[in-house]
Amino acid sequence: MNNSGEKILVIINPKAGRSGAEKLAGKLVALLEEGGARVSRILTSEPGHARRIAFSQGADYDCLVACGGDGTLSEVIGGLMQLDSRPDVGFLPVGSTCDIARTFRLPAQPRKAAQVILEGTPFPIDIGRVEGSPSQMRTDLPPGVVPSDPARLPDSFTYVASFGAFTETSYATRRRLKKTLGHLAYLLTGLQSVGRIRPFDVTVSLDGTDYSGSYIFGGVLNSFSVGGLVKLDDVLFNDGLFEILLVKPPHNVGQTARLLALLLRRKTGDAIVRRRASEIAFHCQEALSFTLDGEYGGSRTEWTLRNSRQAVRLRVPAPPGTRI
C-alpha cells in the first residue's frame, strides 16, 4: 500500500499521555509530509471535540489520524460512524494505557507510526453501536468526566463497553495522577475500588438467549486486552461478533481474589460466563453506568449494544495473527 499524495487530517489531544502529544504529533506530521501526504492538523479543546471534528470534516480526507489515547481514537471513530462513507483511520498512541495499540501492535514512535499510516494495511474492524433508555447524568465523578449535555455522550465504542467492578477506573483516575504515574495510576485507583465491588441484578439477552443474573462485571469486548490487565485469546475483530464476559458475585473476599486471578490468566470458571454475540441487551431496575472505551458512557436502565461489522478500516502494520 502506498498512500503518497493523499489528504490526511491529524486530530491531536494535547492533554493525552505524559510525554506531550503535541510534540509527537508535530514529528508525525513532518514525516507524513516527507512521505508525500498533504497533511492538516487540529488540536482538540474539550471532551467530544474529536468526535465533532471527525463528523464535520472526515468526508474531506483519505485518512484521519488520532493522536492521543484510546479515548481520542474512540471519539474519532465515533464521529466517522455518523458518515455514510468513511476514510481510513490511523493512530499515534500517546495515552497512559492504549489497549487498541497493544492489540494491533501500533507503534508509539512517530517514524514507525508514519510508516504504518502511509504503507500499512487497512484492516476492517467491527464497531459497537449504543442505544438505550434516556441517560441519567451522575454528579459524583471528577470534573470533566460527565458532559454537560447528554447528547454529547458517546453512542459507539471501538473495543469495550462494560459495567461493574473496576470499569470506572479509567475515567475516575485523576488526570494529574495519570501524567505522573502512567499505567500505575490505574492500578492504584482500581485497588482502591475493591471494597466497593457489588453485584447488579441484570436481565441479559445475548442474540435472544437469556443470561440474566447477578453480576459484578459485564463486558462487551473486541480486544485482546482491557486496561492492560484482562487478557483474551482467540478474538476476531471483523466477524460481526463481540466477546461477552459476565462475572458472578463471589461469596467471600478470597473468592474475589480467585476471580480476578482467573481473569488475569485468561481463564474461565463457574463464576465467569464467556460467550459471543452480535446484539446484547441489558436491563436493570437501577441506572447502570457503562464505560465506553474508557470514557463515561452514561447511566441507563436499558442498554442495547449492536455490532456494526467491518464498519471502519484501521491502518495496521499487519492483520492480527500474522507476522510483521
- CATH number of the domain encompassing residue 59: 3.40.50.10330
Please, which residues bridge with residue 89 across strands?
64, 314
Alpha helices in 89-168 (DSSP H): 99-104, 110-119
pLDDT of residue 262: 59
- Contacts with 206 (C-beta within 8 Å, 6 or more apart), sequence order: 244, 275, 277, 279, 280
Q: Answer whether residue 284 shows pLDDT above 50.
A: yes
pLDDT in tens, 187-204: 334 444 445 578 899 999
Is 140 strand, coil or helix? Answer: coil
Is there a single domain that holds both residue 175 and residue 283?
yes
pLDDT in tens, 123-159: 999 999 999 999 999 888 878 788 888 988 999 999 9
Is there a single domain that holds both residue 169 and residue 294?
yes
pLDDT of residue 217: 85
pLDDT in tens, 232-270: 667 889 999 999 989 888 776 556 656 665 555 555 567
- Residue 116 phi/psi, 5° resolution? -65, -45
Is there a single domain that holds both residue 193 and residue 159?
yes
pLDDT of residue 243: 92
Please, which residues bridge with residue 322 across strands?
none
pTM: 0.86
The answer to whether residues 217 and 246 touch, using CB atoms and an 8 Å cutoff, is yes
pLDDT of residue 147: 87
Tell me whether residue 95 is in a domain: yes
pLDDT of residue 247: 84
Is there a single domain that holds both residue 115 and residue 154?
no
Q: Grid cell 494505557 — which residue?
A: 97
Q: If 0-12 CB within 10 Å is exposed, 13-18 middle and 19+ buried, where does residue 27 land?
A: middle
Q: Answer whether residue 225 shows pLDDT above 50.
A: yes
Is there a single domain that holds both residue 296 and residue 154?
yes
With b for 16 or more beta-carbon neighbours within 10 A and e for fewer, the 205-242 pattern comes to: bbeeeebebebbbbbbbbbbbbbebbebeebebbeebb
Q: Grid coordinates representing 150? A: 447528554
pLDDT of residue 229: 52
Distance linking the first and last C-alpha atoms of the chain? 14
Is 58 strand, coil or helix? Answer: helix
Pick the residue with more confidence: 197 or 176? 197
What is the rounded CA–CA span in Å between residue 103 and residue 234?
12
Q: Which domain, by its residues, includes 199?
A: 128-311
Q: Grid cell 457489588 — which residue?
A: 198
Q: Answer whether residue 167 shows pLDDT above 90.
A: no
If one counts the domains in the chain, the total is 2
The CATH number given to whatever domain includes residue 304 is: 2.60.200.40
Question: Mean pLDDT, to the nearest integer, of 208-216?
Answer: 95
pLDDT of residue 253: 57
